[in-house]
Structure 1
Amino acid sequence: MRISFDMHLPFKFPIKDGLKSIHAYDNAEFMLTYHSYKRSIIIDEEYLLDEIDCSCITVNFLPHESMIRDLKKDEILRLTVLNSLDFLNRFIDALRVSYGLSHTHNITINDLPVCLTLAIDEEEYYEYLTRPHDVIPPYKELNLEELSKVGSSLQLWDTNPEIFLFEKFFATARSHLRKEQMVEAIIDLQTSFEIFIRNTHKLLLLHNGASQSEIEKASSISFRNVVEDHIGRILSANLKFNESSGPIHEWFENLYKVRNEIVHNGRVYVSGDEGYKAYDAYVNARNYIADLLDDAGMMTESKKVDLNIFPKNTKGVIDSRPVIERLKDQGMIPEDLMLYDSSQEKSEEGN
């Protein structure tokens, strides 16, 4: 089986048009064909600012039978897109390291069209919905009163940057999850949690009348020691990492360990399920500690995170029917073309 599609990049590879490269792995081969195209930069509907040369890569994905055996057609298409993205990013990394091409960057699911046409053996053609949540956005326009919240956030950043910082990393992690950048999401989630823990420890020390020198000294205490011995002791809670259950244990297993595998052991792949489990574990652990602070009378208002606020790209979350109808109304997909909605399967299936 050979599955092919075109990927238009927002930058130019210094590779001659028409050249092909073949990359073989244990379970599949990739054949890339390099082309150029003109990318228009537009200020508005009437004024064309410029045209720049960019690269278009024709990706041919040839999975071995052992890789796709017993998979449904939609699962094979999803496997193709996610594996091709992963491989192309490794190719871009190698090209950038070898030749210092700092103008290139890695590609995410957001760099693909909402509808991506894939051909199987040049006989069957499918439209693959990469981002159904972008066709019918799940958000509403902000009014003036709601926009003022942004100003409040900026003020918080100016006056208490250490508090805003863990929210910034949390928001960035959510953006990575939406773009299916699971490794980056894991790192940012754990970074956010570690800042949250350090802030919590500082809050508890201040509440108990610690001196400035004691607070400065506390910053050098190991992270695990801060959680288990200091915060746990002050809040009279069991925050041991190796407990058999509970939100701290789930965070330790699903986020902390995975982040350490990335940073210390060079792990380069995290599945969609692992990314979302890490997100849930972060939220539950952070909310658990917030509840402990609230019970101790240190929370003036609810600081808990809504676990359901993040729209996960998993089965059952997005209703594909209105998405498909809207795409048909806009003429983006023909009536007789077979369609696969990427929200129908979990983001790691087939990998």
Structure 2
Amino acid sequence: MELMRAARLHVPSRTLTVEDVPRPAPGPRQVLVRVEAAGVCLSDVHVIDGTLTPAYLRAEAVTLGHEVAGTIAALGPDVTGWTTGQRVVLQAGETRDGRVLTRGIDYDGGWAQYALADVATLFRLPDSIPFEQGAIIPDAVSTPWGAITTTAGVKPAQAVGVWGVGGLGAHAVQLLRAVGAYPIIAVDPAPAARRRALDFGADLALDPADAQLRERILAATGDRALAVALDFAGVPAVREQALTVLAPKGRLVLVGLTDRPLTVTDGTRFSYLQHQILGHYGSEEDAVPQLIALAEGGRLDFSRSITDVLPLDDAAKAVQRLLTKEGDPIRLILRP
């Protein structure tokens, strides 16, 4: 039996260990991918700390990692159209029996030397895109892309606010610029995050504790307020604040995950202004190939997104760095 290294989470105890496990073999419609890069996401942190619990996991332990890029190492029976050695990115999840499952949460993911993938979740990664940058496209880029283009339906010249400029929020700013939103207003309590927002294309970056925040947003939008507010922080206070600066018929899109209750303090104002609150998770199946094409064509640049690359055995260190924001990471990458 061939073994491989994998970062495994024992869910009942929330214990993360890097250990030797059997290397999987691809079944029908599956390929085995040699992992070259795997992103570390705040969702991984929340699974480890217990904020999130796998809904469909059939075992007590799971290999984490839903942002994965690598090369095809082996093909399962009846797999056509793919060859060993091809560079690929894996979709962050798949649909089974009508259920949307997340890689690295509901089934084994890519914090390992090898990962299994259904052929329907494979996308070709051009040579011009490094593995580290390709790996983060599923989720770190595709989730805000879906929130902006599908759930929020942002149109050119619409004013948009981004609360939380971490791994997803920073890409949201970049993507909003790409679709023509204006002005783009970022809100984050961390000075480093606000500087990052401006570097990625925000027109204005504000501290949520600023007593003049509403007035500054109205001034920046010509008194229009925001057509869309995107919550990437997953914090109740953020949602309350965002609702106060929405234009009539404005949309608040909840991207950041939290187990805290959702409340609307002023229900009359909410109804009178016909505000909407929309939940968002993941992205449509065509998001990843769209983003790969835009990156290959030079429309998007993810080179600034990779803060550091660490060996797989340092998975726990990467999680801790993301949790404490040591070094102000956008995305940390594990390399098996």
- Provide TM-score, normalisation by structure 2: 0.27
- Provide TM-score, normalisation by structure 1: 0.26
**More helix as a share of residues:** 1
Larger radius of gyration: 1
**More strand as a share of residues:** 2
